[in-house]
Amino acid sequence: MASQSRALKPVPDGAGGAAGRRRDRGALQSARLEAEFWARDAVVASVPLVEPGARAAVIAAVRHPCAQILFGFEAQLRALVRLAEARGTTLLLAPAPELFSAADSFAAFRRLGVSVGAAERLLHVRLGMARHARLLKQASNVILTGESHTLLPTSPPQHPFGSGDRVPAGFIRQLVYFPEQSPLSGLDGHRMPTAMLDDGAAVADLLAPGSSIAGTTPGAIPRLAAGWVGADDAAFCAELGLEIGSFAEFNTPSWREAWRGGERGGVPASLDWRRAVTLAGAAGDGPERLSPLLLPWNVANPASIVPSLIERLCRAGRWEDRALRLVVFPFNESWETAGTVAGLIQRLRAAGSEPATLRTMFLARLRADRAAALMRHIFPLAWVEGGDPECALTLARLAALGVPAVLVAPPPNLTLPRALMPRFSVLADEESRHDVLDAFGARLFMVPSLSARAVAALIGRSREEIARAAPPALLGRGGGAPDAAHA
């Protein structure tokens, strides 16, 4: 218990613990974005897309099939589509804005009825990770990122944009969702001018009229309100666009195979786990009254502690008896992260993780808005990594979905909007060293993380939270209270 009391710092509503105490430090002084900013001939978005998924150099953004819509840059894109629609603007998507240069390139725009020629007529909004930022020539370039860089590499990377908080000189402005987001700067260190989007811009897609959350709930959802989906319900979920597959059933077709494997014209290739099967196939033995925990995983965050957290849970043994089921939602998959999810699961298998354990951990992907309303019925709690640069954006989207969250190992300098403060945070009691060597150079991150006993305490406290919100029958296979060791 002593370790638990050290590790867990329940935070009164609205206070936010360490995060809340430091809320004002480094906050942006952003003016609201003026309405005329959108008044261009055309608004073009771009994201760190996987090239094979695109079928044209510029398309209507609404036609772009997202691999998952819950978090990350694809969620940003969905939200921006709704924002543009609300302003009567059609949002275009340029999968590779960097290829546009000469007048002949822009013929692709003209074919869509967009006249190009002066930067003030065309607005390019870059979404996603700052270190992936690209520019569109002959346009006004702004960057809208959900990131807030609370954990920077301790050694300066040689790559111009390797630190993650620097962007190309051609951007004229940074758009932010929350005033607490940390500012980006140019290569010379100058801070970019910022402007804040309207409240709710981060979740515009989820809360838009006509969305599943805004009232058009599929009729069958109420029967899921009793808790975890059983085998019969899994097919229903998948039909709505929620795919769930267990680590044990994970299949790893490579990027190349997925690209060539009859994907044309459909959903762009999923990088790692396209063939993840639904829960029905994975669980196999009928309905289970267990509590699923939603764990967003920003695979583009090189300093993420999610992989080590999962590995720790697998190594701990008898995870399957904990009555919790970890459902990992990887997001921000791109060319850079190909193999990340597969790599984790291969490591787990190589380390001798029990099949029984792997059957109780899942990968999931929300592909369609119709399934968004399912989330709060399925997931009584989410663990959100405090050191994730997109932590605030993830919390905002979970809040819109109605899924309560726990903040895991927030860095001391994290600042969050008051409305997004989770019920409690689990403070880091360790610091782990992440040596990263990738396309952005060699970097060293010192990352706040959780020890084994802190993880045990997190599990116990999570079960208490779930118990508070749900009938006891939902906990444990036979119902009843959580086991004493983790109470």
Partner 1 sequence: MRHMPERLPAIARGEALAALARNIAASGWRIYYDVSPLFEEHWTGIPVVAAGLAQVLLRMLPETTHFFYEHHLVTRAAVEDALGRGSGLFLHRDFFKGPAQNGVVPLFDWGAHALGIYPSVKRVRQLFPLECSIVHDLSTLVTPQFHEIANIRYHAESMMSDLRSNAVTFGVSRATVEDIAAYLGIDERRLAVAYNGVSWPWWFPIQVENEREPADADPYFLVLGTREPRKNIVRIFEVLALFPELLDSVRIVIAGRMGWLREQQMIPPELEKAIATGRLVLPGFVSEFEKYCLLSAAAATIYPSFFEGFGLPVLESLSVGTPCIASFSSAIPEVGGPLCTYFDPFSAESLYRAIRAVLADPPKQRVDFREACRATAERFTWEQMLFQILTRMMPEMERHDSIAIGQLKLLEHTPSPSVPERRRRGRPAPV
Distance of closest approach, residue 163 Cβ to partner 1, in angstroms = 12
Q: Residue written as tokens 């990377």?
A: 157
Size of the site for partner 1 (CB under 8 A): 41
CB atoms inside a 10 Å sphere around CB 469: 12
Which string of b and e fits 286-319 if b means at least 16 CB within 10 Å? eebbbbbbbbbbbbbbbbbbbbebbebbbeeeeb
Query: Of 271-279, 343-351, 418-426, 436-444, which part binds partner 1 (CB under 8 A)?
Result: 436-444
Shortest CA distance to 335 belongs to which of 48, 100, 40?
48
d(CA 192, CA 250): 43
3-state secondary structure of 249: helix
Least distance between partner 1 and beta carbon 296 (Å) = 24
The answer to whether 103 contacts partner 1 (rule: CB under 8 A) is yes
> Does an H or E element contain 466, and which?
helix 452-469
Q: Tell me: does residue 435 bind partner 1 (CB under 8 A).
A: no
The residues in 377-396 that bind partner 1, with binding defined as CB under 8 A, are none
Point out which span in 51-59, 80-88, 174-182, 227-235 binds partner 1 (CB under 8 A): 51-59
Comparing CB distances to partner 1, the nearer of 161 and 236 is 161
By CB under 8 A, the residues from 168 to 197 that bind partner 1 are: 168-170, 186-188
Buried b (16+ CB within 10 A) or exposed e, 321-338: ebbbbbbbbbbbbbebbb
**135 near partner 1 (CB under 8 A):** yes
Q: How far is the CB of 469 from partner 1 (least distance, A)?
A: 43
* Positions 332 through 371 that interact with partner 1 (CB under 8 A): 334-336
Nearer to partner 1, 139 or 409 (CB): 139
Within 13 Å, how many C-alpha atoms sit on residue 206's CB side? 28
90 lies in the binding site for partner 1 (CB under 8 A): no
Among 89, 105, 155, 308, binds partner 1 (CB under 8 A): 105
Q: Is 98 in the site for partner 1 (CB under 8 A)?
A: yes
Residue nearer to partner 1 on the CB measure, 106 or 250: 106
With binding defined as CB under 8 A, does residue 260 bind partner 1?
Answer: yes
Q: Which CB atom, from 89 or from 155, has the smaller least distance to partner 1?
A: 155
Which residue of 27, 54, 226, 467 would you call a contact of partner 1, by CB under 8 A?
A: 54
Distance between CA 184 and CA 136 in Å, rounded?
Answer: 19
Site for partner 1 contains 56 (CB under 8 A): yes
Asked if residue 101 binds partner 1 (CB under 8 A), the reply is: yes
CB of 111 to partner 1, least distance (A): 9
Indicate the Cα dihedral angle 400, 401, 406, 412, nearest 10°.
-30
4-18 exposure pattern, b = at least 16 Cβ within 10 A, e = fewer:
eeebbeebeeeebbb
Contact region for partner 1 (CB under 8 A) — 82-90, 105-113, 353-361, 392-400?
105-113
Residue 323 CA to residue 326 CA, distance in Å, equals 10
Contact call for residue 115 and partner 1 (CB under 8 A): no
Paired residues of 76 in beta bridges: none
Q: Please name which of 375, 374, 295, 290 lies closest in space to residue 328, comparing C-alpha atoms.
A: 295
Please name which of 15, 7, 9 lies closest in space to residue 420, comparing C-alpha atoms. Answer: 15
Residue 256 identity (one-letter amino acid): R
Smallest distance from partner 1 to CB 26, Å: 24
For the segment 239-258, give every residue that binds partner 1 (CB under 8 A). 255-256
* Interacting residue with partner 1 among 3, 4, 15, 57 (CB under 8 A): 57
Q: Which residues bind partner 1 (CB under 8 A)?
A: 51, 54-57, 95-96, 98-105, 107-108, 134-135, 137, 158-162, 168-170, 186-188, 255-256, 260, 334-336, 438-441
